[in-house]
Structure 1
Amino acid sequence: MTDRTQYAEHGSFSRHAGGTRFMGVMAYLIAGACLLPMVAVAITALTGGTETISHLMQTVLPRYTLTTLALVAMVAAGTFALGVGAAWLVTMTRFPGVRLFEIALVLPLAFPAYVLAYAYTHLLDHAGIVQSTLRAVAGWGPRDYWFPEIRSLPGAAVMLILVLYPYVYLLARAAFIQQSATAFLAARALGRTAWGAFFRVSLPMARPAIAAGVLLAVMETIADFGTVAYFGVQTFATGIYTAWFSMADRAAAAQLALFLLGFALLLAVTERIQRGKARYHEAGKRHTRMPPEELSGMAAAAAFVLCAVPVALGFLIPAIALFNMGLGSEQNLLSHRYLGFIRNSLILASTAAVVTVAAAICIGFYQRLQPGRRSAMAAYVARLGYAVPGGVIAVGLLVPFAAFDNALDAWMRQTFGISTGLLLTGSIWLLIGAYMVRFLASAIGAYEGGQSMVHANMDAAARSLGHSPLATLRRVHLPILTPSLLTALLIVFVDVMKELPATLIMRPFNFDTLAVQAYRLASDERLEGAAVPSLVIVAVGLVPVILICRQVGRR
């Protein structure tokens, strides 16, 4: 029997129905806010002409579909293998450097994928350091050797895997930490090997969190624009931007966005069916942490190498490359201008993280209070924004709010002779709303991954003691969910620091961020200058990465 079934059978908080209604209203408002930009884009698509989209279907649309599917498959497999493998090694084994790797394995999360692409292009392209050195040492000509092409579909997949596997690692590690040793040791007592017990017991118990992490990585992949555009890989995201900006056909861009939304729906349905309604709990009264296995010899060396490779490829090597690129730059980090970029980035990232996680709690806890189709649909709608490119969300919000601002301004002018200007359009709060829509799925995934550890009997006990739903959330759920909520804060904070399209379109006047500055310099082919704000994004993102990982590790 699942949590939600048990919870429904115990009955709702009848004496405190106000708390349930409040959570329901908040959940529906949040879902409506997430649905608004998609509806605006859909209306634009359905009211536009069909000439351009017909041409695209006959020419590049099949290529967009196949390339996107291939990219998704490679990224899903890569992030699963790296994330789950690393999480198991640092949580369930002990080898030299394991404490360092607990934190170091998350460091690539601070890197935008497009910045990683810049760094590796600087290193591995035909004119890059590696190939130039090979030609100089071996005396080869340009046609005398073969070298993997970095600007390719596999190259883009590798860039995305290296920066997205921490999603799976963080959620899988939190799930492994919360697991008790009882089931695993029982499997070993029944004759299972350590690997057999892992695949038959530990991995299925962590499946909700792992599935959420892989889904986040896949949705980030289909929405990525910077990496695939820089490498010349044609996906739905590049097609949307081509139609929107190069062809100046917003209807065609919106129609392509609908294809992307359909793909996101398919992914979400597949993940939900695969995960089902399963919840896993420790049946015993005590939670016994599994004693880690001490590795030695070749096993310890192999574990060290397996953990070191993603850290080196996803953080150390590109960081060194960017540092060298920025040495000759004229950018001054201590200038008043750059301090303003840092301040603006921190304000946006921290505010958006708190707002988004609070929204995820409302969605997730309402599902707990009122399991059923309506609450499930609210959560389902709230997840969809993660698959939509940030630029499309930005336009989907700007269109209705600009219409509202203009209508209000016209009414105020006519009635009172006062111009209100643009109250919402171009404000920081509308931009934060776009971030919430874009990254709410990641926060919900982290919340649900931890909520699977909250047994329905805990809710029944709180209800028998007279606690209201909000009191139960505050006193029972939130303390247990602390690792998952901290993980959600980390994911949203770093994602906002790296977000580019929505920030470019919706930022208030003269409110530039580090990501915007890096984009401007890279657009001017000033990669040395772009390396400076890119490194600052990484450095600022490292602080919450380290602090939150240390907190999660203490659980």
Structure 2
Amino acid sequence: MPAIPSAAPSSSRAGKTWAALAAIAALIVVLPVAGLALQAVKGSSGLWANLLSSTLPVALVDTVILLAGVGLVVAVLGTTTAWLVTAYEFPGRRVLEWALLLPLAVPTYIIAYAYLDILHPIGSVQGAIRWILGYETPRQFRLPDIRSMFGCILLLGFVLYPYVYIPTRAMFLTQSGNLIDAARTLGISRRAVFWRVALPLARPAVAVGVALALMETLNDVGAAEFLGVKTMTVSIYTTWITRTDLPGASQIALALMLIVVALVAIERWARRKQRYATDARRSRGLTPQKVAPLKGMLFLAAGSVPILLGFIAPSFYLASEAWKRYQFAGLSSRLLDEAINTMTIATLTTVVTIGLGLTVAYAARIGQGRTSGALLRLSTIGYAAPGTVVAIGVLIVLAGLDQFIDRTAIDWLGVSTGLLFMGSGAAVVYALTVRFLAISAGGIEAGLSRIPASFDHASRTLGQTIGGTLRHVHLPLSKAAISAAALLVFVDCVKELPATLLLRPLNVETFATHLYGEAARGTYEEGSIAALAIVAISILPVILLSRVGRQPVWHSSNPG
């Protein structure tokens, strides 16, 4: 036992080292927010007055309406579909369980891109409707314009509802069947059970899902701009790029961050008193109720509508247009360059993000007190900030750093380094790391939390250091969680448009920025292959989620 006392100082030093590394990771995330605040303060005194009188009122109203509409749509779609596949047994239910996740594979800007062409007044869909109704020209009959607030709400809702579906279905699955049986014994119908028992218990999950969907709505810049909705995110982009007004963009971004903070606070306040507990030894899961064949067909048809509108229709359109483009002109040579750029940026960001996420998650595991937990939470604030907000903060920080390095190199070496970070793509990697560190840290923390603390004690008793315990115990046991986090980060980097669009170096295109450019010009067929590639890559986490959702839940009676 003499080794134990001598190991204590070493353990303390190692813990402080991990805490210092976690503090550096948190600082990396906080710096862009601090830079954004400083740039906003630098704005002229008349700038706020101009923004308040012209830009902000319209942008704020459109943002609030869009958030309210999307929140309502995703709450209704996500909750009803989750209850449908959980509470009822009908043909096709098992396919529907995982197929309802597929719209997650279609980024918001791609759904807008696809439907702008699908529902064009002289397109095939409206042409077929006019032919059926006996009309000949769009002047005689045309559907309401998809370029509207209503169209934007519907399209975003049909893409983002899985954020509510996933946690709500998980909550329904874990609800005790005994509660449902007790309610039925008291004379409550199956439909009333949903409103009076299941839904109240699932409100925390619904609130979390809606909050995530609204975060994605705030992050969107492509869909809103394509559909003519001037949100605050779009206003940040136009103020910065079109008007070259960085202080004004910073001030709008700061106002948007306040909205995000308010959303998070409201979500937590709304479920502050929500608690749910059950005795796993005495409870059983909810048993689906078998329904009549005709009713089952109606349930299957109703559950298939979100899949049809949110995934099948846009994916079929993209595949059709991509095939036409390939037959007409083959594959463009620039697609290879865009694929290399996309994969390079996503891979570098994934490596950096997983490294930092492992650092803060492991520091929180071995740390004592509130400091390590606070650093973990601080390192995840970037996910709550829209990509445009993070991009402006990163620009401010790295542009200043570029100028400092350039001046120092000129003074000391007589050589100009130029835009060392902004011109190399490092800014994009930095911004994406800030955005998605929460996914990495959260996933790895969840994996580490499943490893009993007794494993750490046994490892240390056998003479392993904290680092040795990480290498030989924690990494092997949590490799599945780390791999899943890496996959999610990689795919999110491929899909990310705002930060990549604003910070990419000159003449560097990714799939997302190529698609944005083609949609802005109205040349939809040119961007279809890039859009299809993004959707194909984005299916990977959907497959992962569907496999996780089908795994049996394991309960342990041993709290250790």
TM-score range, shorter chain: 0.7 to 0.9
**Residues 164, 424 of structure 1: alpha-carbon distance in 2 compared, 3 angstrom cutoff:** same
User: What amino acid is the match of 1:115?
Assistant: I
2:34 paired residue number: 39
Report the 3-state secondary structure (helix = DSSP H, G, I; strand = E; otherwise coil) of the residue aligned with 1:329: helix
1-side partners of 2:180 and 2:532: how far apart?
45
Equivalent residue for 2:394?
397
How has the CA–CA distance of structure 1 residues 98 and 289 changed in structure 2, closer, same or farther, with 3 Å as cutoff? Answer: same
1:86 corresponding residue in structure 2: 81
Out of 52, 55, 64, the residue aligned to residue 69 of structure 1 is 64
Distance 2:17 2:272 in 1: 27
1:213 aligns with 2:209: yes
Q: Which residue of 2 aligns with 1:5?
A: none
Q: Which residue does 1:6 correspond to in 2?
A: none
Question: Counterpart of 1:28 in structure 2: which amino acid?
Answer: A
- Tell me: CA distance 1:171–1:352, structure 2 relative to 1, closer, same or farther (3 Å): farther
- From 140, 147, 154, the counterpart of 2:143: 147
Within the candidate set 213, 221, 224, 2:220 is matched to 224
Find the aligned partners of 1:281 and 1:480 in 2 and give their Cα distance. Answer: 27
Deviation of 1:237 (Å): 1.3
Aligned residues: 537
> Is 2:105 the counterpart of 1:124?
no
AA aligned to 2:299 is A
Q: Which amino acid aligns with 2:495?
A: K
CA drift at 1:386:
3.6
| SS, match of residue 149 in structure 1 | coil
Match of 1:58 among 46, 53, 60: 53
Secondary structure, counterpart of 2:126 in structure 1: helix
Specify every segment of 5 or more residues in structure 1 that has no aligned partner in the other structure, as ranges: 1-12
1:216-365 equivalences in 2 (<5 Å): 216-276=212-272, 283-284=279-280, 290-329=286-325, 337-353=334-350, 355-356=352-353, 359=356
* Alignment of structure 1 residues 175-194 onto 2, 5 Å: 175-176=171-172, 179=174, 181=176, 184=179, 187=182, 191=186, 194=190
Conserved? CA contact 1:352–1:496, under 8 Å: yes
The answer to which of 250-259 and 98-107 deviates more is 98-107
Counterpart among 521, 524, 528 of residue 524 in structure 1:
521
Q: Which residue of 1 aligns with 2:4?
A: none
Provide the rounded CA distance (Å) in 2 between the counterparts of 1:182 and 1:447: 32
Which residue number in structure 1 is paired with residue 496 of structure 2?
Answer: 499
Per-residue Cα deviation, 1:391-414 (whole angstroms, up to 9, x for no partner): 342232133223323323443444
Partner of 2:556: none
Q: What one-letter code is carried by the residue in structure 1 that aligns with 2:135?
A: G
Shift in CA distance, 117/285, structure 1 to aligned 2, threshold 3 Å: same
* Cα distance in 2 between the residues matched to 1:196 and 1:19: 56
| Aligned residues with identical type, % of pairs | 34
User: 1:534 corresponds to which letter in structure 2?
Assistant: A
- Name which of structure 1's ranges 86-95 and 296-305 shifts more when overlaid on structure 2: 86-95
Q: Within the alignment, does 1:538 sit opposite 2:529 as a pair?
A: no
Name the residue aligned to 1:8.
none
Q: In the alignment, does 2:435 pair up with 1:438?
A: yes
- The secondary structure found in structure 2 opposite 1:59 is helix
The one-character-per-residue Cα deviations of 1:256-306 (angstroms, maximum 9, x if unpaired) are: 111101101101111222233867565445996554444442442233123
Q: For each residue in 1:231-253, what CA deviation from the matched residue of structure 2 results, as whole angstroms up to 9, or x when unmatched? A: 11121112212221222211111
Which has the higher mean CA deviation after the structures are superposed, 62-71 or 510-519? Answer: 510-519
Q: Secondary structure at the match of 2:146?
A: coil
Q: Over residues 419-462 of structure 1, what are the superposed CA-to-partner deviations in whole Å (9 max), with x where a residue is unaligned?
A: 655543344554233112223455677789x69x979xx86766
**TM score, norm. by length of structure 1:** 0.81
**By how many angstroms is 1:524 displaced?**
3.3
Q: Contact between 1:260 and 1:387, CA under 8 Å: does it hold in 2?
A: no
- Which one has a bigger Cα radius of gyration? 2
Which residue does the alignment assign to 2:403? 406
State the distance in 2 between where 1:454 and 1:287 align.
Answer: 25
> What amino acid is aligned across from residue 512 of structure 2 in structure 1?
A
